[in-house]
Structure formats: structure tokens, C-alpha cells
Amino acid sequence: MDDAEREQGPWRRNLVVLWFCTFVAGMAFSEIMPFLSLFINQLGDFTKAQVSFYSGLAFAADYAISAISAPLWGILADKKGRKIMLLRASLGMALAMGLMGFVTNVWQLIGLRALQGVFAGFISNAQALIASQAPRKYSGHALSTLITGAVSGQLFGPVIGGFLAHIFSIRNTFFITAGLLVLAFLLSLLFVKEHFKPVEHHREPGQSRNPLAAFQNPTLIIVMLCSTAIVQFGNASIAPIISLYVRELMHYHGPITVVAGIIAALPGISNIFAAPRLGRYGDRHGSGKVLLFGYIFAVIMYFPQGIVTSVLALGILRFAIGISDGALYPEIQTVLTKNTPVHLTSTIFSYNQSFQAIGNMLGALLGGLVAGWFDYNAVFVMTAVLLLVNLILVLWLVPEIWQTRRVNAD
């Protein structure tokens, strides 16, 4: 569709519906994380080391399989439509989540976590649908607004999941979570509208089989996908150690779990307010400027987190990180959208999901290892250095991203 058709299309209503659906999906994905290790401990007579090992496997299984399956679903979405992928993802994950409530051993749970990874892709397909429908001049604002739905759900999910597990038991919480995903399925089925027009492509004799040949700037696409993994790596590397770091700063006294929960939630709160505004600024003045700000601000905010001596200082810095997240991840997606042919929108968003999953998996694993080898503060320093290297690579490999106000794909 051209911009005139997009203006008259249902993108505004779809944005509202999918914001709520991604909120529900984000909440469903995150609300089981606080008690997953406790549930594993109930499935056998395990040592502390075994519980940690199996918890790591269960955590990684979803992301590892998702990284492989997401591109395949994305290719299918570009041929069959994005709405059907929303229905596939929500219903499939509801099934996997519901079955987790019946498991009797840890390997069944790990297997179902892997199955959940097979069906993953609700949020990325919601982003692809909005990206394919919103007028290009509003794409940054629309995507930034949409991403606050998932972030909000992920923010409230652990708190809600903890209460549900306490009131209804861990097993029943899996069933409740499956019900939330069924709700996302029904809302997508009844209220999301897509007038999908598949585009047939016939390769001319001698035309390259390289899938990147369809992009005007393949280097930019590769660099942005790698940037997604690095940004997500930074967030995931902090998640496993943040509560332990808070406990250390509080000298092992006081309401540690309450304070740790608040500290963990602060980036999500600032992200909700910052992302739409930064996306709107990027639409008007160029996504490159927002990205440059996001990288520099993140590096400046991450370094001191490793040397703070009070929880208050850590909280202020963690709140600031949500602002940099609101600049980086949505604008990376906006750059991908504006430099991707429309018929490959779902494909590129599914690859983006794969790189995000890889960042999640590696970040959690390496964050724990670095904290074990050195100390908690080393994780923050590692993240800051990695983002600085990412910024240098973007400046070097795709300098045009900073020089061009808006680049739209054909």
C-alpha cells in the first residue's frame, strides 16, 4: 500500500487492539519467570546446582528454538498474511502454557518450553502488521507506541505472577496464563483487520539467489539486526543478577525482594513514557539522531551502575536505562522498516525476533558467568563496553544512518 491507502486503512484501530494484545502477551510470558525455578525444584529431589542447571535449560529452550523457527514463520507471514500468524502464535503458546500445568518431571517442562519457542512470534508479527499498515511518516511513533504494550506487560507480569502463584498455586498459574493467551487470540481474531495482498516474485534469469539482494542497503540491515542482539544482550545480562546486586547493596538486611522488584521495574516505567515521544521525534528529525542519543546515553548510564554504593543511586540509573531502551530498540525497528521492501516486512521482523532471542539467551548465560568470575559490577561494565563497540560499528559501517533524515524503501 502507498501512504494514501495506509492513511485510510485500519492501522489506528489495529494499533489500539494490538497494544492491548501485546500487553497481555508480554504479561503472560513474564509472569511465570519468578517461580519457574521454584516449580522445577518441586519436580524432583535436586541439589542446588541441579536446580540452577535445569532452570538455565528451561529458560534457554524457549529462546533457542524461537531463534530458529521465527524466520520460517516470517517467510510464511509474508506469503499468507500477518494476522494468521498472530492467531497461530497466541493459540499455540496457549496450548504449550496450559500443558505445563500438567507436567510431572523437569524434562517435560523443558520440552514444553521448547514447544513454546516453536510457536513464538506474537509480538514480532504484531509489529510487522503495524509496520506494514502505518503511513511511513508515522511508523516510528506507531512502533514505539506498540512496543510499550509488551514492555508494560513484561513490567507487571512478574508481580502479577507472584501473586497468582501465592493465591492459586504455581500449577494453576500456568492455566491462568494460558487463558490470557486465548484472550489475545480472540481479540486478534475478532478485531484486527488486515487486507493482505500477497506479492508474487519471479526471479529473472541470472538474478541473485541471495535474499539480501532485495534490500537497497544490505549492510545496514545486517548491522541493525546485530544491534538488536547486542541491545537485548545488555538487558538480559543484567536480569539474572539485579536482585543479588540489590541484596549486596542493602548489606543483606531489609525488604530485599520488594526493593529488588521495584528496581527491576524502573526501566520499564521510564520506557513507557519515553518510547512514544522519542519515536515521534525520530519521525520528524530522523531515527539516526535518536539512535545516537540512545547509545551514548546508555553507555553513560551503564558504567556508574557498577560502582554505586546505594540502592537509591542504582534506582535512578536503572530508571534512566529505560529511556535509552526507548530510544534504541524501537528506532532500530523503525530503521529496519524504512529500509525494507513492504513484501519482506514480516520476514525482517522475524529475523529481528531471532536476533533478539539470541541476545536474550547469550546475555543471561554470559551475565551469570561474568558475575561468577569477577563480580556483579563487572556485568554493567561489560554491557557498557559492548554498547560502545556497537555504536562504533554502526558509525563505521553505516554512516548514512546519521546523515539521512528519512530513508523509505521502495
CATH of the domain at 330: 1.20.1250.20
Q: Tell me the three cell numbers of residue 14.
A: 489495529
- Residue 377, pLDDT above cutoff 90: no
The DSSP annotation for 303-361 comes to HHHTT--SHHHHHHHHHHHHHHHHHHHHHHHHHHHHTS-GGGHHHHHHHHHHHHHHHHH
Domain membership flag for residue 69 = yes
Sign of CA dihedral 395, 398, 400, 405: negative
- In this prediction, residue 370 carries a pLDDT of 77
Write phi, then psi, for 392 (nearest 5 degrees): -60, -40
Q: Using the predicted structure, report yes or no on whether residue 407 has a pLDDT greater than 50.
A: no
Residues in Cβ contact with 228 at an 8 Å cutoff, skipping those fewer than 6 apart: 329, 332, 333, 352, 355, 356, 359
Query: Residue 408 above 60 pLDDT?
Result: no
pLDDT (tens digit per residue) in 63-80: 778 878 877 887 787 778
Report the pLDDT value the prediction gives residue 98, as an integer from 0 to 100: 94
Alpha carbon 28 to chain centroid distance?
A: 14
What pLDDT is attached to residue 103? 94
Q: How many other CB atoms are found less than 10 A from the CB of residue 2?
A: 9
Indicate whether 75 and 44 sit together in one domain. yes
Q: Which residues of 158-184 are buried (b: 16+ CB within 10 A; e: fewer)?
A: bbbbbebbeeeebeebbbbbbebbbbb
My answer on whether 173 and 236 are in the same domain is no
- For 92-96, 135-139, 257-261, 281-285, which range has the lowest pLDDT when averaged over its residues? 257-261
Q: Are residues 292 and 342 in the same domain?
A: yes
Question: What pLDDT score does 82 carry?
Answer: 83
Q: Are 258 and 342 in the same domain?
A: yes
pLDDT, one tens digit per residue, over 219-249 is 888 888 888 888 888 877 776 667 667 778 8
Domain boundary at 159, 193, 227, which? 193
262 has pLDDT over 60: yes
Residue 312 lies in a domain: yes
CA dihedral 15, 18, 19, 24 (to 10 degrees): 170
Neighbour-count burial of 47, counting CB atoms closer than 10 A to its CB (0-12 exposed, 13-18 middle, 19+ buried): exposed
Q: Round to the nearest angstrom and report the end-to-end CA distance of the chain.
A: 11
Split at pLDDT 50, 70, 90, the class of 406 is very low
- Mean pLDDT lowest among 54-58, 92-96, 389-393: 54-58
The answer to whether residue 273 sits within a structural domain is yes
Nearest to 332 by CA among 241, 394, 403: 394
Instruction: Select from 144, 161, 193 the last residue of a domain.
Output: 193
In this predicted structure, what is the pLDDT of residue 37? 66
The mean per-residue pLDDT over the stretch 327-341 comes to 78
In a domain, 296, yes or no: yes
* Residue-level pLDDT at 35: 64
- So what's the pLDDT on residue 22? 92
Nearest to 134 by CA among 19, 214, 269: 19
Task: Give yes or no: residues 49 and 171 share one domain.
Answer: yes
Same domain, 244 and 144: no
Would you place residue 101 in the very low, low, confident or very high pLDDT band (cuts 50, 70, 90)?
very high
For residues 305 and 360, membership in a common domain is answered with: yes
Alpha carbons 268 and 148: distance in angstroms, whole number: 8
Helices (H) then strands (E): counts for the chain: 17, 0
Q: Note whether residue 218 is domain-resident.
A: yes
pTM: 0.66
Higher-scoring residue by pLDDT: 280, 189: 189
Neighbours of 145 (CB within 10 A): 22
* The total number of structural domains that make up the chain: 2
106 close to 154: Cβ distance less than 8 angstroms: no
Of 300, 306, 303, 276, which Cα lies nearest the Cα of 139? 276
Whether residues 97 and 31 fall in one domain: yes
The reply to whether 220 and 189 lie within a common domain is no
Task: For residue 212, give every residue at least 6 positions away whose Cβ sits within 8 Å of its Cβ, in sequence order, or none.
Answer: 218, 221, 222
Residue 379 lies in a domain: yes
| Domain identity same for 7 and 132 | yes
Is the pLDDT confidence value at 203 over 70? Answer: no
What's the domain range around 133?
Answer: 1-193
* The total number of residues written for the chain in this structure: 410
Domain assignment present for residue 62? The answer is: yes
Same domain, 172 and 222: no
Within 10 A of 396 (CB to CB), how many other CB atoms are there? 9
291 and 189, same structural domain?
no
127 is a domain residue: yes
Query: What's the CA angle centered on 120, arms 267 and 69, to 5 degrees?
Result: 120
* Of the candidates 279, 248, 274, 247, the residue with the CA atom closest to the CA atom of residue 130: 279
What's at 261, amino acid-wise?
G
Q: State the pLDDT at residue 176.
A: 92
* Cα 61 → chain centroid: 16
CA neighbor of 350 nearest in space, from 7, 71, 36: 71
Q: What is the mean pLDDT of the chain?
A: 80
| Mean pLDDT lowest among 82-91, 103-112, 357-366 | 357-366
Residue bearing the bigger pLDDT, 363 or 186:
186
- The one-letter amino acid code at 272 reads I
The three grid cell numbers given for residue 7, joined into one nine-digit string: 492513511
- The amino acid present at 136, given as its one-letter code, is R
Instruction: Write down which residue in 193, 228, 260 finishes a domain.
Output: 193
pLDDT at res. 93: 92
Round to whole Å and give the CA distance between 130 and 261: 32
